Amino acid sequence: MFGTKIIIDEEQGRELMERRLENSFPSKEEVLAKLKSGSKLKVYLGIDPTGPDLHLGHTIPLLFLKQLWKTGHAPVLVIGDFTARIGDPTGKDATRKALTKNEVKDNMKNYLSQVHKILPKGSFEVKYNSSWLSKMSFENVVNLASHVTVQQMIARDMFQERIKDEKPIGLHEFLYPLMQGYDSVAMKIDGEVGGNDQTFNMLVGRDLEKKLLNKDKLVFATRLLVDAESGKKMSKTEGGLISLSDSAQDIYGKTMRTVPDEMIETVFELCTERDWTWIKDNKETIKNSPLKFKKELAFELVKMYHGEKESKKAMEEWEKVFSKKEMPSEIQEAPGEGMKLVDFMTEHALATSSSEAKRLLDQGAVSVNEEVVKEWGCLLKSGDIVRVGSRKFLKVV
């Protein structure tokens, strides 16, 4: 049973501090010494339920927490049901839209079932930050705010950018790091893990714990999934990222379609539990044979969340449809008997507009029953299978 005794050997310590971490505070040496000291540390990850799904980016700190748990430490998951209603300004060039209590409640209803795909039931505590933040009086907030300066807040790059672009900064956005920082104080936590883009917020919590509790909180800032070409963080708001609630077919397909060749090694390292030595030893081989290892990565990710049996089925289906150009085993149905093909495509999201549907037809990218069709007015009958491109299929009913 994991989590009963603190055991971190040299190799485990190196992997803990290097595989998924970008930075650690107060220093790498002090953090590792604290982790190996024999004391069972409580380390938390906070997740704001701003959407219904946890995505691949969330798995990086979750897998780090799993590493800590296996060495004997105590993970804590904080669901930010209060902070989600305010909105974290991190990385945003405009103020986030406020969420209602009901929207937050609806978003977070499946969070734990998704987290359990990585951290086993019983391996971590669950807390909701509304249980302390909603009870604070205005006097409490003012007293807390006295420990952080305007200069600290305004120095953040994203706020400087907004000032330069003459875009508004809401006062509540200054309060967000204060609220996240108070989470640490309320729990008297030993450490916090989060994405590297959360470093400022996590350090506010470290400062507050030091001032209010005389306690040195450890901060673990994990690496981010960053697109090699655009430099954008691969997140749910940037689009195209794999969700933990995705089907086996979707995880496999999204991996094959959306993970750039340059990021295969990175995703293996950050988002899987594949042996770290194997990843490092295959660094050059992955670069030289990206398709082979992308398939292996897709298989690994599906296996993590759906098991090996489903992973094999997803791999076989991909090979059938995309390598052998055969029909998928299961095809969704949509009403369309007697409809014009161009209207059917638009109605059922096979194209974003009539003009795009016509363009796809002109390009020969559309087939009915595996025969290319270019006639915009082609009438469909029940049982017809419409294929757009290499991966969009619908059966007419």
Cα 347 to the center of its chain, rounded Å: 31
Phi, psi for residue 98 in degrees, rounded to 5: -70, 145
Q: What's the pLDDT score for residue 94?
A: 57
Domain boundaries, the chain: 10-222, 248-323, 333-396
10-222 belongs to CATH 3.40.50.620? yes
H or E element that contains 131: helix 130-133
| Side-chain half-sphere CA neighbours of 14 within 13 A | 5
CATH for 333-396 (3.10.290.10, 3.40.50.720, 3.30.499.10, 3.50.50.60)? 3.10.290.10
- Shared fold status for 10-222 and 248-323: no
* Tens digit of pLDDT at every position of the chain (397 positions): 455 678 888 999 999 999 999 999 999 999 999 999 999 999 999 999 988 899 999 999 999 999 999 999 999 999 999 999 887 776 655 566 778 889 999 999 999 999 999 999 999 999 999 999 999 999 999 999 999 988 888 888 888 888 888 888 888 888 889 999 999 999 999 999 999 999 999 999 999 999 999 999 999 999 999 865 556 555 444 445 799 999 898 899 889 888 989 999 999 999 999 999 999 999 999 999 999 999 999 999 999 999 999 999 999 888 877 665 556 666 788 898 889 998 998 888 888 888 888 888 888 888 887 788 888 889 988 888 888 876 677 888 8
pLDDT of the residue at 63: 98
**Which among 240, 244, 269, 245 has a CA at the least distance from the CA of 256?**
240
Strand order in the sheet with 218-222: 21-25, 218-222, 191-195, 42-47, 74-79, 125-128
* Fold type of domain 248-323: Tyrosyl-Transfer RNA Synthetase (1.10.240)
pLDDT of residue 238: 42
